[in-house]
Amino acid sequence: MSGITEEAVEKFLDSNPVFAKEYYDLKFRPGIISELLSTNKTNVDFSQYHTMSSLEESEIVFDLIRGFQDTINTEKCVFSVLKRLSFMIQADRMSLFMYRMRNGTAELATRLFNINKDSTFEECLVVPDCEIVFPLDTGVLGFVAQSKKIINVADVSQDTHFCSFVDNLTEYATKSILAAPVMNGKDVVAVIMAINKIDGKVFTKTDEEMFLKYLNFANLILKVFHLSYLHNCETRKGQILLWSANKVFEELTDIERQFHKAFYTVRAFLNCDRYSVGLLDMTKTKEFFDQWPILMGEVPPYSGPKTPDGREISFYKVIDYILHGKEEIKVIPNPPADHWALCSKLPTYVAENGLICNIMNTAADDYFEFQKGAVDESGWLVKNVLSMPIVNKKEEIVGVATFYNRKDGKPFDEMDEVLMESLAQFLGWSVLNTDTYDKMNKLENRRDIYQDMVSYHVKCSNDELQIILKTKEIYDKPPDECEEDELYEILQEELPDPDQADIYEFHFSDLPVPELFLVKCAIQMYYELEVVDKFHIPQEVLVRFLFSVSKGYRKITYHNWRHGFNVGQTMFTLLMTGKLKRYFTDLEAMAMVTAAFCHDIDHRGTNNLYQMKSGHPLAKLHGSSILERHHLEFSKTLLKDESINIYQNLNRRQYDHALHMMDIAIIATDLALYFKKRSMFQKIVDQSKTYENEKTWTEYLMLDQTRKEIVMAMMMTACDLSAIAKPWEIQSKVALLVAAEFWEQGDLERTVLQQNPIPMMDRNKAAELPKLQCGFIDFVCTFVYKEFSRFHSEIQPMYDNILNNKKEWKALADEYEAKMKALEEERQKKEPIQAPKPVVPAVTGKENGGNVPVGEQAPQSKSCSIL
């Protein structure tokens, strides 16, 4: 070993560089790198500028990496890079200018200024109040940001882009510049600039290469910072929108509470010391009593700023959110003009122009009048402000949100603008919820008012009650002071005898009697059903209810109280005479008769199709069975009034069941549903024939609620069509009333809707009524009464009547056809001799609609008659 000298080893290593490198990498490199990273010392002399060796440059690189490990502060990391870079390229000063957007305008602002080899971070960091801002159309910096290329200016006096603004401000003479952009993809993040090569020289190509090489460190730092910042902004944005959405849809009562809850919930994500929300008065036109003083010259007209839609700018409320120190919320109704949030006139300017305003240094702003001193006893000062309008879906400005002093001391930047704008925009759109809620409240209030008006006009008055329940005449006291037995005695005298009134008969006719008599008959039916005492129906309430129901029907041609009563009487007859009551409880029977009386209440004389064609509000309210659902709602509205609610003493289960039966019964009168239930009813009838005795079948059906409801629905159809099953002398007259109402609808379709009505509703085809009646009986009616007569033989009279009526209508239809055929033959004979004339049957009277033979008395209808 003693024979090996240092010179021999050195000679061997020089002769075998590959081996030397492998040996170094294996034995020494890991330890050296570890030592370099673990020590805080740099073996580089920074006291004076000199040419750097490779080893010193490596030392600087490791020094920068160690610095990145020690701190995550972006400015400090970039400061370290620029400090070392200024030494390496021998620049007198270096600066970092950050790219940003403010109020929609791109600009560069100082973040680190005048860095040299001996600088400290604190003296080079620029606070927001002292930053220097360059628009992109100014100076070498602006040109670098626009061109996105490195620029080396040897003599600034010869460069057209150079601006001496900063030199004048700092009393410094710039001679040469080396500047390059920091890019994130295609976007400029910042510009780094080196000024004045030491010893008066210019920056060389080598300096440019060194500058770009170490610029990669700054580029990486700023990219990471930028991406992290964007991520944080998007996270904040998501959190703000999520939490504000939660509160927006939780609070719908009014805009003030909605904004308050939303802003308060997201306060932790807004990153500012304070923010205020000014709510604008949405009144566009003044009341006449406010205009009179102006028109009289007593008050000068308003001449101040207005919103873009022409409203006077008036903040009716300001909500201040104080987040620094102790959190506090202040609500100021009718705030004075000198309130600290309004005295600057910035919210007014934003409301007037609808623009976002970002004031980065309020102390240097000379357009708005920001408060110079502390705004309150806490000593808090306004430093930077971001203000933006809150705009609803109608593009009306409903308020102004203003944010004060970003918490990190920096001014609000582009991302803050985007984030706050998203929040303001979302809240503006959410105003639609409160508007809708307000409209719904107003509609409900109007509905309650209209309901009260309807109730007043429909509800049986005390004077009308005395027509039937004559307590004042007999006892000299109102009904509510009488005992139930006293009321019963009066009603026994006033109500008709059931047998004499024929209320148990299928052939009952309302034509000879007045409407009041029908009300009395309806009252009597409840006693016959034995439900008055059983369900504790107050007799005064029963009279008021049925009198009110009769008033609820409109005075129209057919679907009036007479029709409503006839349907109720037929239901009563089916239950009692037809023996169908054995399947239903007393409660169900009462509900079925009540539903029958109410089934067409407030009918308008036009059908469901007309409601849809004319765009009636009822068609928009109810999607199907339009009128039937309206009749049901009207009936329930009456029952909500305690003074006419015959169900008032039912327990909850009974009450719900009674309303459920009424729901089905009234909706079932829609003929569109009739065809859906025919086959189901037929199966029930067929099933009844399979049982050996009536008792077993009755016990089975009583317990099957679904089959009972189907039977009830078909009973309602049979009741609604019962006019077709009356004796001919009644049916022929009622048919004219039905036809007259149809023709009135046809006239409306022709005049209002500008459409040709179908034949059944066409007055010009009135002569075809018998033929149409035959078709209606065959297609719709026969099935109902045939199946009911099979179901219960007691209902056979209705089926017999419809067969007889079919025969009568067929005879009239045949007679009409024969006359038409004869007239056609006569016309054809005369055709070669003279020009054809309009066919007018000589045997009919034009004054009666062209249907009644001359010399015969027409049935009592206002607009139609029959052969």
Catalytic residues: 559
In total, the chain counts a number of residues equal to 867
Pairing of strands 105-115, 133-135: antiparallel
Q: How far apart are CA 521 and CA 505, in angstroms?
A: 13
Tell me which residue has tokens 């308008």.
604
Dihedral, 413, 236, 226, 76 alpha carbons, nearest 10 = 80
Q: How far apart are CA 85 and CA 67, in angstroms?
A: 14
267-293 burial code (b ≥16 CB/10 A, e <16): bebbbbbbbbbbbbebeeeeeeeeeee
Contact at 8 Å (CB) between 88 and 57?
A: yes
**Dihedrals phi, psi of 565, to nearest 5 degrees:** -65, -45
Strand order from edge to edge, sheet including 177-184 = 133-135, 105-115, 91-102, 187-197, 177-184, 151-153
Contact at 8 Å (CB) between 765 and 759?
A: yes
Tell me which residue has tokens 């408060």.
371
Q: What angle do CA 362, 405, 264 make, to 5 degrees?
A: 135
777-815 burial code (b ≥16 CB/10 A, e <16): beebbbbbbbbbbbbbebbbbbbebbeebbeebeebbee
* 852-860, long-range: CB < 8 A, 24+ apart: 859/732, 859/733, 859/736, 860/511, 860/733
Q: How far apart are CA 698 and CA 691, in angstroms?
A: 10
| 162, 166, 505, 688, 799 from 792: Cα distances, Å | 109, 108, 15, 10, 11
Q: How far apart are CA 183 and CA 204, in angstroms?
A: 23
Residue 603, annotated as binding a ligand: no
Residue 756, annotated as binding a ligand: no
Contact at 8 Å (CB) between 229 and 99?
A: no
Q: Where are the beta strands (DSSP E) in 323-449?
A: 328-333, 357-359, 385-391, 397-406
Residue 792, annotated as binding a ligand: no
Helix extents (H) in 553-670: 561-576, 586-598, 608-613, 617-621, 626-640, 652-667
Please state, as a whole number, how many other Cβ atoms lie within 10 Å of the Cβ of residue 229: 14
Residue 236, annotated as binding a ligand: no
**Dihedrals phi, psi of 328, to nearest 5 degrees:** -155, 145
Residue 693, annotated as binding a ligand: no
Q: What residues have CB less than 8 Å from 100, skipping those under 6 apart? A: 106, 107, 108, 109, 413, 414
Residue 239, annotated as binding a ligand: no
Q: How far apart are CA 593 and CA 290, in angstroms?
A: 58
Contact at 8 Å (CB) between 720 and 669?
A: yes
Residue 231, annotated as binding a ligand: no
DSSP 331: E
479-514 burial code (b ≥16 CB/10 A, e <16): beebeeebbeebbeeebbebeebbbeebebbbeebe
| 385, 404, 619, 670, 777 from 411: Cα distances, Å | 8, 9, 57, 69, 85
DSSP 794: G
Comparing C-alpha atoms, which of 319, 405, 417 is closest to residue 362? 405
Residue 599, annotated as binding a ligand: yes
* 671-674, long-range: CB < 8 A, 24+ apart: 671/717, 671/780, 672/608, 672/624, 672/625, 673/625, 673/713, 674/717, 674/780
Residue 187, annotated as binding a ligand: no
Q: Is the dihedral of CA 701, 705, 707, 711 positive or negative?
A: positive
| Paired tokens of 48 | 């004076």
Helix extents (H) in 376-506: 414-458, 462-468, 471-474, 484-494, 498-501
Residues that constitute the known binding site:
559-563, 599-600, 720, 773
Residues that constitute the known binding site for Zn(2+):
563, 599-600, 720
Residues that constitute the known binding site for AMP:
559-563, 600, 720, 773
